Amino acid sequence: MPNEKLKPCPFCGGNKIKIIMRIETSESGFNLEYNEINCKCGIYFGLNRSGDISEAWNRRVEDGQ
């Protein structure tokens, strides 16, 4: 994950945002790896490990993307 600064939460405007890397084992024994962003307002956003979670979180409609 790049050390990119995260934009404030698009729902509450808060800056208390955490990036969490999760690894869970499925019932069939496969490891499932993904990143998750959590905000103090309760919203969470997940993305599989191959994606850039910071870039996805920072993407906004008004940025034209």
Q: Is residue 7 part of a domain?
A: yes
Q: Is residue 65 part of a domain?
A: no
Count of structural domains, the chain: 1
pLDDT of residue 12: 96
- In this predicted model, what pLDDT tens digit does every residue of 12-48 receive, in sequence order? 999 999 999 888 898 999 988 889 999 999 999 888 7
Domain range holding 45?
Answer: 1-60
pLDDT of residue 13: 95
Which contacts qualify for 14-18: CB closer than 8 Å, 24 or more apart? 14/39, 14/40, 14/41, 16/40, 17/57
